[in-house]
Structure 1
Amino acid sequence: MGTDANDTALKLTKQGHASVRLEKDGRTLVIDPGGYSEQEAGLGADALLVTHEHPDHFDELRLRAAMEANPEAEIWTLRSVAEQLSGAFPGRVHTVGHGDTFEAAGFEVEVHGELHAVIHPDIPQITNIGFVVDGLVFHPGDALTVPERPVKTLLLPVYAPWNKYAEVLDYVRTVSPAQVYDVHDGLLGDLGLAFFGRMLGEGGPGTGGAAHNQLRPGESVRLAR
């Protein structure tokens, strides 16, 4: 699951639900420290990325705490989130969208995607963006966005009101990464985690060659280029 430290690009730490922490060269980037993640999920970040406005991905208090703890920290997100924060942190909150590229605390980031997956036709569809970090790892937020470039590591939203197992499996096959790490699993207990571990692993119909992995909150792995 991990790689030799001499061939690493990023250290990835799973946080609660949909949040991950990426570290390299003494800098830290955090994605989606929302309301289902740890209270301190954003603390220590030099850069924060938010995929969309739903509270399990965007928690204003967690982001404010991170920005206040580090006066040099900055946020990159879509307009619906940026508008709620930019007044409190002028010049430190950046609006981005599909096709944009930028550097955040030494990490190279690409933006892919535009819309949240459909939950139900009666529920308005909101905007959602995903982030490819250092050309290596892709976090799609709440969508099954296929990035317009190959990625080695896919952070897979494994369980949500808007998806089902067949869609999740076909998404992995379409993206065709070398490896998958589950995210968006905060609503699953041990039985649910075991089910997806089996169905996306050796007990299932096959991911098209992608190695499926699960991390508990607080566990880390080193990702090779």
Structure 2
Amino acid sequence: MKLTKYAHACVVVEDERGAVLVDPGAFTPNAAELVASVRAVLVTHEHFDHVDVGVLDDALGRRDDLHVYGPGTVVDRWVEGHSDRVHRVRPGDRFTAGGLPVAAFGGQHAAIHADVPRVDNVGYLVGGTVFHPGDAYLVPDERVSTLLVPTSGPWTKLGDAVDYVRAVDPDRIVQIHEVMLSDLGQASVSRFLSPEQLSKVALTVLPAGASIDV
């Protein structure tokens, strides 16, 4: 499979069977272009940095081949008029999106503060290989080869990220959710998440638009 990293939490996963786009949010400047390039979009949760509602609303209105998957808090707005192409996802669901098998895990967004309500958050294991957790340190009860690791945000903590990587025990870890880190901050996280420090595998840091085989 090929994994292409775009700005912040947005990635494309693809192979000869097809492709899915995950979390095209407002921090992804080419979100509309990316949505136009696929037939399936997965959304982990409702926060604007993970879903650009305007982009998806426009695409659903113009295309009859686009399918959007996500928690009800995200997709219910589009059910009327697009019920055959908008899919509510719950933890435990298994389905095929854009030609690729997907398994959903979750519950809730990680806690930011006691005064900030927690929202539904679904993580996706795509192709049995790549796991995107959204905004939570979700540990799926399946083997994960490539784990996408959020490294910045109001809910993240380096120690928790280390424990998360250890719990999942993947073959490869790739940085996502990095927009709040400077280059120096990203280098610091990479040092901690390295075999010389606290992780068995090194953190792969990809610039927007870069791809790796997974």
Question: Shared fold (TM-score greater than 0.5)?
Answer: yes
- Paired residue for 2:96? 103
Structure 2 alignment gaps of length 5 or more = none
Are 1:55 and 2:48 matched, yes or no?
A: yes
1:39-188 alignment runs, 5 A limit: 39=30, 40-68=33-61, 70-188=63-181
Q: Which runs of 5+ in 1 are unaligned?
A: 1-9
Q: Distance in 1 between matches of 2:22 and 2:58?
A: 15
Residue aligned with 1:76, SS: strand
1:216/1:68 Cα in 2 relative to 1: closer, same or farther (>3 Å)? Answer: farther
TM-score with structure 2 setting the length: 0.93
Per-residue CA deviation, residues 102-156 of structure 1 (Å, 9 max, x unaligned), is: 0112100000011100000011111101000111110000000100111011000
Cα separation, 1, equivalents of 2:63 and 2:179: 27
**What's the RMSD between the two structures over aligned residues?**
1.5
The reply on whether 1:28 has 2:19 as its aligned counterpart is yes
Amino acid at match of 1:222: D
Does structure 1 conserve the Cα–Cα contact (< 8 Å) formed by 2:190 and 2:202? no
Choose between structure 1 and 2: higher helix proportion. 2
Q: Does 1:206 align with 2:201?
A: no
Deviation, 1:83, is 1.1
The TM-score with structure 1 as length reference comes to: 0.89
Percent identity over the alignment is 38
User: Number of matched residues?
Assistant: 212
Change (3 A) 1:111 1:63: same
Name the CA distance, whole Å, in 1 between partners of 2:71 and 2:186.
30
Is the contact between residue 174 and residue 205 of structure 2 (CA under 8 Å) also seen in structure 1? yes
